[in-house]
């Protein structure tokens, strides 16, 4: 029996999925999972070289699945506030062939390296910078969506948050603030864009490429610290989190919700 004839595995067959931040970590694994479910995937990031390399990697991994519908890519710089709305418009135009092939699902995993100064050293620029990719850009995308996505419960827009919003580490007030803004925005858009479904995935510690900045001699200690803060005694893999986004795409009754995958961190 082919996947498109399967009641559950075929739910995303032929659906058009846009992944922002799709060249690494959770976003890359969402792309893999969507391809395995038969979706047509569009990847976006700020770096064309990374996009090209990622598309080639996916093509090599899934040559048969991508034979008819290869992964497409589009650069989008979310860090330029002056050009942000135009950059998002260009992305949506490219992702939908100027509205001819509308999107079914969007997974927003894009982020940036957020500077976390001590509370007594915070500047207004630090505060504003933290919200550009995490709240301002998703809100502007929501403004543009009706032209590029049918507002239907069959479709979804999924944000990414983090468990530090509910249980901040010391020195993470700025991140907790913008995490809370993302959760509030998600609920507001679930109302304003209804019946389109809008949700948020809230991960705990996930072992992605971001840990590449940690010196090798310290990495085991850092990861062990996260393990001790979870009831599972583990650190998540990005493949684990990808399942949450795929679930949201497939469940046509989930909206305005936070799907938590944190290894029990909030219980300790």
Say if 248 falls within a structural domain.
yes
Say if 92 falls within a structural domain.
yes
Q: In what order do the strands lie in the sheet with 16-20?
A: 72-75, 40-45, 16-20, 105-108, 156-160, 197-203, 258-261
User: Where does residue 17 rank: exposed (0-12), middle (13-18), buried (19+ CB within 10 A)?
Assistant: buried
Q: How would residue 212 be classed by pLDDT, with cut points 50, 70 and 90? A: confident
Which residues span the domain enclosing 108?
3-261
Q: For the residues 79-93, what does the mean pLDDT come to?
A: 97
Say if 268 falls within a structural domain.
no
Proportion of the chain above pLDDT 70, given as a percent: 98
pLDDT at 3 over 70: no
Say if 64 falls within a structural domain.
yes
Q: Considering only CA atoms, which of 111, 119, 95, 115 is closest in space to residue 43?
A: 95
Distance CA 177, CA 165 (A): 7
Mean pLDDT of the chain: 95
For position 165, which CATH number holds? 3.40.50.720
Say if 267 falls within a structural domain.
no
Say if 209 falls within a structural domain.
yes
Say if 266 falls within a structural domain.
no
Q: Considering only CA atoms, which of 42, 112, 48, 43 is closest in space to residue 80?
A: 112
Task: Answer whether 202's CB lies under 8 Å from 262's CB.
Answer: yes
Q: Domain count for the chain, please give it.
A: 1
pLDDT at 158 over 80: yes
Pairing mode of beta strands 156-160, 197-203: parallel
Say if 58 falls within a structural domain.
yes
């Amino acid at each position: 029996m082919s996947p498109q004839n399967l009641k559950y595995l075929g739910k995303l067959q032929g659906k058009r999925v846009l992944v922002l931040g799709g060249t690494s970590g959770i976003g890359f694994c969402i792309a893999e999972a969507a391809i395995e479910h038969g979706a047509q995937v569009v990847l976006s990031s700020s770096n064309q070289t990374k996009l090209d390399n990622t598309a080639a990697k996916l093509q090599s991994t899934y040559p048969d699945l991508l034979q008819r519908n290869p992964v497409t890519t589009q650069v989008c710089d979310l860090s330029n506030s002056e050009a942000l709305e135009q950059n998002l418009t260009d992305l949506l135009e490219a992702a939908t062939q100027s509205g001819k092939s509308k999107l079914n699902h969007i997974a927003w995993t894009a982020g940036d390296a957020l500077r976390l100064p001590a509370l007594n050293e915070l500047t207004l620029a630090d505060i504003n910078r933290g919200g550009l990719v995490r709240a301002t850009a998703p809100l502007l995308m929501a403004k543009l969506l009706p032209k590029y996505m049918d507002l239907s419960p069959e479709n979804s827009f999924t944000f990414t948050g983090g468990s530090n919003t509910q249980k901040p580490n010391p020195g993470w007030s700025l991140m907790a603030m913008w995490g809370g803004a993302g959760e509030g925005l998600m609920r507001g858009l679930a109302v304003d864009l209804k019946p389109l479904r809008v949700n948020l995935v809230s991960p705990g510690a996930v072992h992605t490429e971001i840990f590449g900045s940690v010196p090798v001699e310290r990495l085991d200690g850092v990861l062990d610290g996260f393990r001790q803060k979870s009831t599972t005694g583990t650190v998540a893999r990005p493949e684990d989190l990808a399942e949450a986004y795929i679930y949201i795409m497939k469940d046509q009754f989930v909206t305005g919700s936070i799907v938590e995958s944190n290894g029990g961190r909030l219980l300790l």
